[in-house]
Amino acid sequence: MHASQAAVRNHQKDKLGALRNAVLNAALPTAPEEDKQLIFLDLDDLLAERLIQPNRLELTVKAGIPRFSYLTHTGKKFLGFISSPIDD
């Protein structure tokens, strides 16, 4: 319900897509706790909310491909929550 209300207030395509994904992810057994979901839905500035740390670059290797990220652990959970749970 909170996501629906936020969608009405936000008309930008990317935000609406992220909110749609959040609704889908909220129904999954792997969903974050409800309090964390509400916090995630209220976020807009990743740096201010400490979801990214520009001075902390992390290197991971997946399928032999190096990937660099400034995301914190909570930032990764946030992006997982707003990413589509359906494989394209």
Domain residue spans in the chain?
A: 2-82
Task: Kindly report the pTM of this predicted structure.
Answer: 0.56
Is residue 38 scored above 90 in pLDDT? no
* HSE (side-chain half, CA atoms, 13 Å) at 56: 9
- For 1-10, what is the mean pLDDT? 67
Q: Name the token pair of 45.
A: 């500035």
Q: Is the per-residue pLDDT at 31 higher than 90?
A: yes
Which band of pLDDT confidence, cut at 50, 70 and 90, is reported for residue 33? very high
Q: Tell me the average pLDDT of the chain.
A: 78
CA-CA distances (angstroms) from residue 9 to 13, 31, 57, 59, 62? 12, 24, 34, 37, 37
HSE toward the beta carbon, residue 39, CA cutoff 13 A: 14
The whole-angstrom separation of Cα 3 and Cα 55 is 32
Q: Collapsing DSSP states into helix, strand and coil, what is residue 70?
A: coil
Give 45's DSSP letter.
Answer: -
